Chains A and B, each alone.
Chain A
Amino acid sequence: MPAPAQTRIIFQHIDEPGYTNDLACYVRNGGYEVLKKAVTRKPEELIDEVKKSGLRGRGGAGFPCGVKWGLVDRKSGKPIYLIVNADESEPGTFKDRYIIHQDPHQLIEGTMISCFANNVKQAYIYIRGEFPHGAKILEKAIAEARAANLVGPNILGTTYNCEIYVHRGAGAYICGEETGLIESLEGKRANPRIKPPYFPAVLGLYQCPTIVNNVETLCHVKYIAQHGGEAFAKIGTPGNTGTRVFCVSGHVQRPGYYEFPAGTITLGQLLNEVCGGPLPGRKLKAVIPGGSSAKILRFGERFKGKRKVGAEMVDYDWGVEDVPMDFDSLGMIGTMGGSGGVIVMDDSVNMVEALANINAFYSHESCGQCTPCREGSLWMKKITTRMVHGEARNEDAALLKSVADQIPGRTICAFGEACSWPTQSFIAKFGDEFKQYPETKKTAKPAGAAALI
């Protein structure tokens, strides 16, 4: 079956010739009309539309946005904050970068609609430190919007006030974790908070109720406010509504960003048709489907079980290529849709070396407050680096697994899972390669193999 055509909602204007990131261009293309209508509606109506839409967060966890908004404590009398999580840092993910740089007003409009719906008077955009131009572009866009009475006091002649400020991070991955982000925004080390009691919806920024939403998620809110939750829910598949932006990187002919209705394209169609398949003379070997912490898939393995289609349970028997790209299908086969970052590896890659690269990342990025994660991520890095650059032993795979198995569930935040899933899944899927590595090292590397650690 051929791949479906792209449906560009969020990326409609990305890379469009002549489209610029200023207010005038955005308004020429119908910008801020949705906000103008939204402020004449009841905020509860807008929240209902988002609930009906089934929109799931695009940052990684896939938590339903309407449920998140529904959890906000609206009775405390404290101000409610909204934070835009623009700390895009999951390796393999690069969608928010293009929204911020090329279409910042789309994000600001979505943010203002979300703020109005939730009676938020102050929003912050937490943008990663490595996007210096992105921060300036957003600041300029907010200033333009403020001058046009779209952000700030009494927007569009109403009594509603809302300010947005940009806050820059400084190179720490853990700031993408929402409670770590909140700590960072409070001017502290980004050590995530323990839940309970610190659910952001109740005790977030300055101990006030707080909504933290991903950049792409807030852009979807704009679409939902415009077309209605039901219309949005018709795109994609039940439970996985709307479009998804997939970021494909690594060993394919045409890496890049592609937007499709969620669940309508398989991994094989995405990689082979849309991205042009493997590089000349190579074969696809493995793929990480949802950001570097997602569990790896091995080409050639099969997944069998029963799944719900409509009201019925049907059998499925999938190869990696057959898996529909949605949160639920990827979850069923033991990995995750995560942030939409798809990292592809071909047969030139040695899996021990690829894991060593990933482990170096997580070891560098552990915030250090929980011992299993701080020490575990460090030792997984030390062992895999030693295997590549020093002595590799037959028992290393078992040692790595024993370290990885002791981390998840024993940490304050999900980083414990994120840093152990690569090691667990690489060893489960490519255990032979780890056992053979002492021998493999003695032979020449495949031509064209890149150093990974």
Chain B
Amino acid sequence: MNLKPSTLQAIDEVITHYPEKRSATLPLLHLIQEDIGHIPDEAIPWIATKLGLQPINVYEVITFYPMFRRKPIGRRHIKVCRTLSCALLGGYKTCAAFEQEFNTQLGEVSPDGEVTVEFVECLASCGTAPVVLIDDDLHEKVDVAKAKQLSAQIKAEAAQRR
């Protein structure tokens, strides 16, 4: 597995946080996903060896937690909150607007490779509904107009790169 030296260093450091190595399973999965973008097959035995576990112990953790993904996603990850407070203020419309703007469907990589749109459960910012997490950044009160504006920004950044 081709991990950055900084990731390998962070992995060795985080293992020291726990009296039992197994506790580092989630931190290692986060670090690998941040480095590679998803959890590739070879990461499972690699983590197992690193932490003295069986591969199944790692695999069962990956399949339990919604944030770990086995496949690459678009360049940007758009997570729209689906839960009640956001839905009451139009979260379903917001989500549909992102799908439409990028001509994509939930969980898929958009045709231009720029985004993956997901509908996720409560992001704990119900007072500023509807909310959207784009990569690590929270966006508040995202109605359809704001969703279009955010989409335009992402597209403009993509155009600049090309």
Stretch in A87-95, A228-236, A405-413, A434-442 touching the partner: A87-95
How far does the Cβ of A426 sit from chain B's closest Cβ, in whole Å?
12
* Chain A positions 345 through 360: 1 when the CB is less than 8 Å from some CB of chain B, otherwise 0: 1000100001001101
In the assembled complex, B104 has its CB within 8 A of some CB on chain A = no
Does A184 contact B84, Cβ atoms closer than 8 Å?
no
**Cβ contact within 8 Å between B124 and A128:** yes
Chain A positions 176-211 with a Cβ under 8 Å from a chain B Cβ? 184-190, 206
Query: Known contacts A170-B68, A185-B23; is A345 also within 8 Å of B126 by CB?
Result: no
> Could you tell me the distance between the alpha carbons of A365 and B65 in the complex, rounded to whole angstroms?
10
Check: A257 CB closer than 8 A to any chain B CB.
yes
Tell whether B22 is near chain A: CB-to-CB under 8 Å. yes
With contacts A186-B20, A187-B23, A452-B84 taken as known, whether A364 is within 8 angstroms of B30 at the C-beta atoms is: no
Cβ contact within 8 Å between A92 and B126: yes
Q: Which residues of B contact A97 (CB under 8 A)?
A: 124-125
Q: Is A255 an interface residue (CB 8 A)?
A: yes
Q: Is B76 positioned at the interface, with any CB of A under 8 Å from its CB?
A: no
Q: Is the CB of B133 within 8 A of A250?
A: no
Contact B93 A450 (CB under 8 A): yes
How many residues from B make CB contacts under 8 Å with A?
47
Residue numbers in B under 8 Å from A171 (CB-CB): 65-67, 120-121
Within B48-100, which residues are at the interface with A (CB < 8 Å)? Answer: 51, 53, 57, 60-61, 64-68, 79, 82-85, 87-93
A65-119 CB contacts (< 8 Å) to partner B: 88-94, 96-97
Q: Give the residues in chain A near B60, CB-CB below 8 Å.
A: 188-189
Q: Who on chain B is nearest to A165 by CB?
A: B17
Which B residues are in CB contact (< 8 Å) with A318? none
Q: B17's closest neighbor in chain A, by CB? A: A165
How far in angstroms is the closest Cβ of chain B from A113?
22
Nearest CB in chain B: distance from A66 CB, A: 28
The verdict on A451 contacting chain B, using a C-beta distance below 8 Å, is: yes
Do residues B26 and A452 form an inter-chain contact, with CB atoms below 8 A? no
Tally of chain A residues near chain B (CB < 8 A): 57
| Closest chain A CB from B48 CB (angstroms) | 11
Taking the complex as formed, is A167 at the interface, i.e. its CB lies under 8 A from any CB of chain B?
A: yes
Please, which residues of chain B bring their CB within 8 A of the CB of A133?
136-138
Cβ-closest chain B residue relative to A451: B92
Distance to closest chain B CB from A377 (angstroms): 13
Best-buried of A133, A165, A367, A450 by chain B (most CB within 10 Å): A450
Quick check: is B5 within 8 A (CB to CB) of the other chain?
Answer: no
**Contact between chains at B66 and A170 (CB < 8 Å):** yes
- Smallest CB separation, B83 vs chain A (Å): 5
Roughly how many angstroms separate A206 CA and B23 CA in the complex, as a whole number? 10
Given known contacts A184-B26, A187-B61, A249-B129, A450 and B84 CB-to-CB distance under 8 angstroms = no
The residue from B27, B126, B127 contacting A168, defined by CB atoms under 8 A apart: B27
Which one of A187, A248, A349 lies within 8 Å of B25 (CB-CB)? A187
A188 to B90, CA, bound (A): 36
Flag whether A129 is at the interface (Cβ < 8 A): yes
Is B29 an interface residue, CB under 8 A from the partner?
yes
Q: How far is the CA of A36 from the CA of B30 in the complex (A)?
A: 36
B85 contact set on A, CB distance < 8 A: 91-92, 249-250, 343
A186 to B25: give the CA distance in the assembly, Å. Answer: 8
Tell me, in angstroms, the Cα distance from A453 to B119 when the chains sit together.
11
In the complex the two chains form, is A129's CB within 8 Å of B67's CB? yes
B150 close to chain A: CB less than 8 A:
no
A256 contacts the other chain (Cβ, under 8 Å)?
A: yes
Is residue A130 within 8 Å, beta carbon to beta carbon, of the partner chain?
yes
Q: Quick check: is B32 within 8 A (CB to CB) of the other chain?
A: no
Q: Is A2 an interface residue (CB 8 A)?
A: no
- Known contacts A168-B30, A171-B65; A130 and B123 CB within 8 A of each other: yes
Q: Give the complex CA separation of A361 and B124 in angstroms.
A: 13
CB interface residues, B 1-40, toward A, < 8 Å = 17, 19-20, 22-27, 29-30
Q: Which residues of A are found within 8 Å of B91, using beta-carbon distances? A: 450
Chain B residues near A190 (CB-CB < 8 A) = 64
Which B residues lie within 8 Å of A249 (CB)? 85, 88, 126-127, 129
CB of A381 within 8 Å of the partner chain: no
Known contacts A91-B126, A93-B126, A354-B84; 20 additional CB pairs below 8 A are A91-B121, A96-B124, A130-B79, A130-B133, A167-B23, A168-B26, A169-B26, A170-B26, A172-B64, A172-B66, A173-B122, A187-B23, A188-B22, A249-B88, A292-B84, A343-B84, A357-B84, A361-B82, A361-B83, A452-B84
Instruction: Pick 10 A–B contacts, CB within 8 A, sort by A.
Output: A91-B85, A92-B122, A93-B126, A131-B124, A168-B27, A169-B65, A255-B129, A343-B85, A357-B83, A364-B66
Closest CB pairs A-B (n = 10): A170-B65, A249-B126, A187-B25, A171-B66, A249-B85, A171-B67, A187-B22, A170-B67, A451-B92, A132-B136
Chain A residues packing against B (C-beta within 8 Å): 88-94, 96-97, 122, 128-133, 165, 167-173, 184-190, 206, 247-251, 255-257, 292, 341, 343, 345, 349, 354, 357-358, 360-361, 364-365, 367, 450-453
